[in-house]
Amino acid sequence: MTDHAGRPSAETIATVTLALQRQFGNRCVTSDAVRQQHAHTTTWLANQPPDMVVFPESAEEIREIVKLCAAHRVPIIPFGAGSSLEGHLNAPNGGVSIDLSSMKKIITVHPEDLDCVIEPGVTRKELNEYLKSYGLFFPIDPGADASIGGMVATRASGTNAVRYGTMKDNVIALEAILPNGETITTARRAKKTSAGYDLTRLFVGSEGTLGVVTKITLKLHGLPEAISAGVCPFPSVKAAADAAILTIQTGLPIARIELLDAVQVKAVNVYSKLAMPESPVLLVEFHGTEQGVAEQAQRFGEIAEDLGGGPFEWATRPEDRTKLWQARHDSYWAVMALRPGIKPFATDICVPISHLADCIEETQADIAASGLIAPIVGHVGDGNFHTSVLVDTASAEEMAVVKGFLTRLVERAHRMEGTCTGEHGVGQGKMKYLGAELGDATVSTMRLIKHAIDPDNIMNPGKIFTFTP
Amino acid sequence: MTDHAGRPSAETIATVTLALQRQFGNRCVTSDAVRQQHAHTTTWLANQPPDMVVFPESAEEIREIVKLCAAHRVPIIPFGAGSSLEGHLNAPNGGVSIDLSSMKKIITVHPEDLDCVIEPGVTRKELNEYLKSYGLFFPIDPGADASIGGMVATRASGTNAVRYGTMKDNVIALEAILPNGETITTARRAKKTSAGYDLTRLFVGSEGTLGVVTKITLKLHGLPEAISAGVCPFPSVKAAADAAILTIQTGLPIARIELLDAVQVKAVNVYSKLAMPESPVLLVEFHGTEQGVAEQAQRFGEIAEDLGGGPFEWATRPEDRTKLWQARHDSYWAVMALRPGIKPFATDICVPISHLADCIEETQADIAASGLIAPIVGHVGDGNFHTSVLVDTASAEEMAVVKGFLTRLVERAHRMEGTCTGEHGVGQGKMKYLGAELGDATVSTMRLIKHAIDPDNIMNPGKIFTFTP
């Protein structure tokens, strides 16, 4: 972790702190609690707090912070809701955390164009609450109530991605402030463009390493006329995975298809007061017209039955449906109850769907052989699944076992033409896998781009790849 | 056009020619006809032929060409099918055109994953012919039978984009050779990834300015169970555009919705021996299950009727459907008959759909006031439309009128939050608009990336933006 510009001197930090406190008053915070909270991580990576946290309220204020930090070569860590999972918010060399939670304006909704323009601090739930009255929604739903800016940064996805794509598919344009203090607009509001390099997609998934996103134009979708959702148990994880595979292969436009293994179901039942059958299950949802949804559900039922699944249980009332998906999103918290006092952390591999059943089976066998508690949930329509590993990070012995498991998990994904990170990003936690995944020449190309845009490495240093200015 | 590294000396070209002829024999061609053909353009931009054309048969051969050219700072112009529209293939400073038409391997089709891995010289029709027996298809369809590599380079789209997206949405991964001779793989074959910068999307639309694409992993789609297509006349272009807008806004998953104005219909009828009503029409197509398609068609029919459109005429037989869409794709050729001896060239603006009807109406009025012949066709579901301007490029007077029209057209698109290029790319023809469209800071950022990856500006110089090493 010494792969960046180096920690600024105490004097430099004092100078920058003074300047920011003068400008921002009590919106520049140096208290230990706030600094710690802005570096929190859900892996075993140690907290590396920034030197201070600033709460700007406009792009212009952000620009001033960026210019000040650039002049003093002080690191900047853009902070959304703090729900990222791979140490994205850690400040290995200190610096200024820019907390964007005061940037919550929904600037315009264009219902006729199915898009909106918002500030980065708006969270996905806030946005969807606001959009309800327009009959619109924004489908990308990582488990947490993440900020949209953070979701841009990590190229987030979630349960709806199988139908609606990921953040890369749902961002039309971005406004961002570069380390040189310039503001760029990556595209106009038209739905299509071939006007030069796709800077929108370059910034989506760049994890705050290229600039601070200050405005986001998002694609929206009409609330489906009809929704049906349900739970379908299967005799084995393989049968459930096979059903998911067949569903995708037959082109069924399913909106959500989530796998929970038996351990995960048990945990969710207890935490969310549900009574799902304690076997592997698929949670599914269909969007469309009344007729279309009925047709899709029937076809899925046939597939499930062919694979020994069922009986299918429908959540017909909206409140039951909400409860079901909230339970799915709460699976992280539910898992905690399986081993009190221990925080789970999530793995995130994604493989071509033809390898999915094998990959999950091998992983389950590995979990069993390793003696781990690690329930599985997965966005199986995309070939993406998580294990929530319950490990006592204080035990060197357990950590050694888990590290072995993780190495094998990522190697398994790579062997099956997959990725170590389907949707959580690289951050600090997955830097070590990137070379094996994409090759050194590819990672070097990313470094060239980083160097071109952020030569002094002030933007969220020490993330994605090692980089020395 | 002096915005690049400068033309290599005659000696340098002689050295490179000799080396390539030695290695490639008669696969290195310097004849005038072949050189001219490899610079052809469909605008009034003058042909700027390369010094030679090489026909490599493997990525390794391409790598050797790139290394040789890099060592001598000789420009490289990757060439697919030669169907690009904005002077992308011109060689303002000479150099080596790498003709990829011998790179036609379809390496693997993974029907279970709905993807395939191919070489860049495969054309879209060749690919779809090959995929038929798998029950799969690749939906992106620019009018010409373009090479997939060229479609990657220009971020192409076409009539199916309204449902299936553009090239940016349908490329999973690329292999490319950089100017430094290194080979990169931008992603693995998994459907989703958040593993670092999105180099896939950076290369899609980079117009050959960053490297030569040597392998492409594409998303495929199952052939729809049912397809229905038809023609619906409207009393005015505005009524037709409004029907398209309403169709999109109500969330109808229409697969194609193409506008032809009355002039265009007339030309197409003659050229393709059809008998469409000579008024503005929408050509539409629905994909889905039998039931789904029937439902969609009925809903669209209701929308059309509400706007005074109809009667709807269905092309129920596959051969009639093929004829209809071939006619649409041949609209460029059809237009030529309207003014014998004159080649049309296509404009390509795209605006948010709420502005579409106004934009088309203003443009029609402008065409009329300018005394031009310029039929309109449009991918109106995306807010994208073309005018095919028939201009005698030898007439200074006509050219002045057309240039005024083009300036106003692009200004209109910009005023309506749109782009000067929905799908044709920037090439040489639209460089002058990019600053006004995205701002100088954005174009400078593109330049920084270009400089990082191609510091000597050997990759397709003089395209997208001015750049001096």
| Interchain contact A219–B (C-beta under 8 A) | no
B116: closest chain A residue by CA:
A352
At a CB cut-off of 8 Å and minimum separation 6, what does A57 contact? A27, A102, A103
Residue pair B282/B159 in contact (Cβ under 8 Å)? The answer is no
Other C-beta atoms closer than 10 Å to the C-beta of B468 total: 12
Residue pair A155/A145 in contact (Cβ under 8 Å)? The answer is no
Residues 269-298 in A contacting B (C-alpha not used; CB under 8 Å): 289, 291-292, 295
DSSP designation for B459 = B
SS3 B25: helix
Q: Which residue has the tokens 């920037």?
A: B426
Q: Do B198 and A196 touch (CB under 8 A)?
A: no
Say which of B198, B423, B430 has its CB closest to residue A204: B198
* pLDDT (0 to 100) of residue A316: 75
Do the domains B105-222 and B225-432 sit in the same CATH topology, yes or no? Answer: no
A413: closest chain B residue by CA:
B190
Q: Which two tokens stand for residue A374?
A: 């690690």
Count Cβ neighbours within 10 Å for each residue of B12-47 and write b for 16 or more, e otherwise. bbebbbebbbeebeebbbeeeebbebbbebbbbbee
Q: Do B192 and A420 touch (CB under 8 A)?
A: no
Residue pair B74/B180 in contact (Cβ under 8 Å)? The answer is no
Segments in B25-74 forming alpha helices (H): 32-37, 59-72
Spell out, as residue ranges, where chain A has pLDDT lower than 70.
1-5
Q: Do A352 and B113 touch (CB under 8 A)?
A: yes
Q: Do B434 and A195 touch (CB under 8 A)?
A: yes
* pLDDT (0 to 100) of residue A5: 55
Q: Which two tokens stand for residue B329?
A: 């794709």
The dihedrals phi and psi of A337, each to the nearest 5 degrees, come to -70, -15
Residue pair B142/B157 in contact (Cβ under 8 Å)? The answer is yes
Segments in B287-389 forming alpha helices (H): 290-306, 318-329, 331-336, 356-370
Burial of B261 (0-12, 13-18, 19+ CB in 10 A): buried
Contacts of A451 in chain B (CB under 8 A): 452
Q: A386: distance to nearest CA of chain B, Å?
A: 13
* pLDDT (0 to 100) of residue A469: 83
* pLDDT (0 to 100) of residue A323: 87
Report the residue of B117, B168, B178, B191 to disrupt the A interface, i.e. the one with the largest count of A CBs within 10 Å: B191
Q: A342: distance to nearest CA of chain B, Å?
A: 27
Strand partners, B167: none
At a CB cut-off of 8 Å and minimum separation 6, what does A86 contact? A41, A43, A45, A421, A424, A425, A426, A427, A428, A429, A430
Strand partners, B117: B108, B217
* pLDDT (0 to 100) of residue A373: 95
DSSP designation for A349 = E
The dihedrals phi and psi of B257, each to the nearest 5 degrees, come to -150, 100
At a CB cut-off of 8 Å and minimum separation 6, what does A237 contact? A259, A261, A280, A357, A360, A361, A364, A376
Compute the distance between CA of residue A20 and CA of residue A26 in angstroms, rounded to an integer.
10
SS3 A437: helix
Choosing among 3.30.43.10, 3.30.70.890, 3.40.710.10, 3.20.20.10, the CATH entry for A10-101 is 3.30.43.10
Choosing among 3.40.50.720, 3.30.70.3270, 3.30.428.10, 3.40.462.10, the CATH entry for B225-432 is 3.40.462.10
* pLDDT (0 to 100) of residue B29: 98
Residues 338-377 in B contacting A (C-alpha not used; CB under 8 Å): 350-354
Domain limits, chain B: 105-222, 225-432
User: Element (H or E) spanning B438, and its range?
Assistant: helix B431-438
Contacts of A449 in chain B (CB under 8 A): 197, 202, 449, 452-453
* pLDDT (0 to 100) of residue A3: 39
Q: Do B202 and A201 touch (CB under 8 A)?
A: yes
Q: Which two tokens stand for residue A400?
A: 């050694």
**How remote is the C-alpha of B30 from its chain's centroid?**
28
Q: Which among B412, B428, B461, B454 has a CA at the least distance from the CA of B41?
A: B428
* pLDDT (0 to 100) of residue B312: 87
| Beta carbon pairs, A and B, within 8 Å | 281
Q: Which two tokens stand for residue B349?
A: 């603006």
| Interchain contact B169–A (C-beta under 8 A) | yes
The amino acid sitting at A191 is: K
* pLDDT (0 to 100) of residue A406: 97
A451: closest chain B residue by CA:
B452
User: Element (H or E) spanning B110, and its range?
Assistant: strand B106-110
Say which of B111, B202, B448 has its CB closest to residue A198: B202
At a CB cut-off of 8 Å and minimum separation 6, what does A247 contact? A254, A257, A300, A303, A381
Q: Which CATH class is domain B105-222?
A: alpha beta
Q: Which among B468, B467, B465, B469 has a CA at the least distance from the CA of B206?
A: B465
Q: Do B419 and A464 touch (CB under 8 A)?
A: no
Q: Which among A54, A9, A6 has a CA at the least distance from the CA of A28?
A: A54
Compute the distance between CA of residue B416 and CA of residue A345 in angstroms, rounded to an integer.
47
A187: closest chain B residue by CA:
B438
| Interchain contact B107–A (C-beta under 8 A) | no
B464: closest chain A residue by CA:
A196
At a CB cut-off of 8 Å and minimum separation 6, what does B191 contact? A350, A352, A353, A382, A383, A384, B113, B172, B219
A432: closest chain B residue by CA:
B195
B430: closest chain A residue by CA:
A195
Q: Which CATH class is domain A225-438?
A: alpha beta
Q: Do A422 and B190 touch (CB under 8 A)?
A: yes
* pLDDT (0 to 100) of residue B2: 36
Q: Which two tokens stand for residue B186?
A: 């931008």
Spell out, as residue ranges, where chain B has pLDDT lower than 70.
1-5
Say which of B188, B418, B453 has its CB closest to residue A417: B188
Q: Which among A342, A353, A351 has a CA at the least distance from the CA of A388?
A: A342
Q: Which fold has domain A103-222?
A: 3.30.465
DSSP designation for B105 = -
Contacts of B181 in chain A (CB under 8 A): none
Bridge-based pairing of strands A96-99 and A52-54 is parallel
Count Cβ neighbours within 10 Å for each residue of B403-437 and write b for 16 or more, e otherwise. eebbebbbebbbebbbbbbbbbbbbbbbbebbeeb
Contacts of B198 in chain A (CB under 8 A): 155, 168, 198, 201-202, 204-205
Q: Which two tokens stand for residue B240?
A: 């037709």
| Interchain contact B171–A (C-beta under 8 A) | no
Residues 395-414 in A contacting B (C-alpha not used; CB under 8 Å): 413-414
Q: Which two tokens stand for residue A402?
A: 């888990």
Burial of B176 (0-12, 13-18, 19+ CB in 10 A): buried
Q: Which residue has the tokens 């039955």?
A: A305
Q: Which two tokens stand for residue A43?
A: 């892996």
- pTM greater than the 0.95 cutoff: yes
Number of helices and strands in chain A (H, E): 17, 19
Q: B26: distance to nearest CA of chain A, Å?
A: 33
Q: Which among B461, B404, B464 has a CA at the least distance from the CA of B437?
A: B464
Residues 27-66 in A contacting B (C-alpha not used; CB under 8 Å): none
Residues found in chain A: 469
Instruction: Please give the ipTM for the structure prediction.
Output: 0.96
Q: Do B222 and A249 touch (CB under 8 A)?
A: yes
Q: Do B198 and A155 touch (CB under 8 A)?
A: yes
Other C-beta atoms closer than 10 Å to the C-beta of A185 total: 18
- The CA angle A459-A463-A469, to the nearest 5 degrees, is 55
Sequential DSSP letters for B386-402: EEEEE--TT-HHHHHHH
Residue pair B257/B282 in contact (Cβ under 8 Å)? The answer is yes
Compute the distance between CA of residue B188 and CA of residue B186 in angstroms, rounded to an integer.
7
Task: Work out the angle between the directed axes of helices A431-438 and A440-453 (0-180°, nearest 10).
Answer: 120
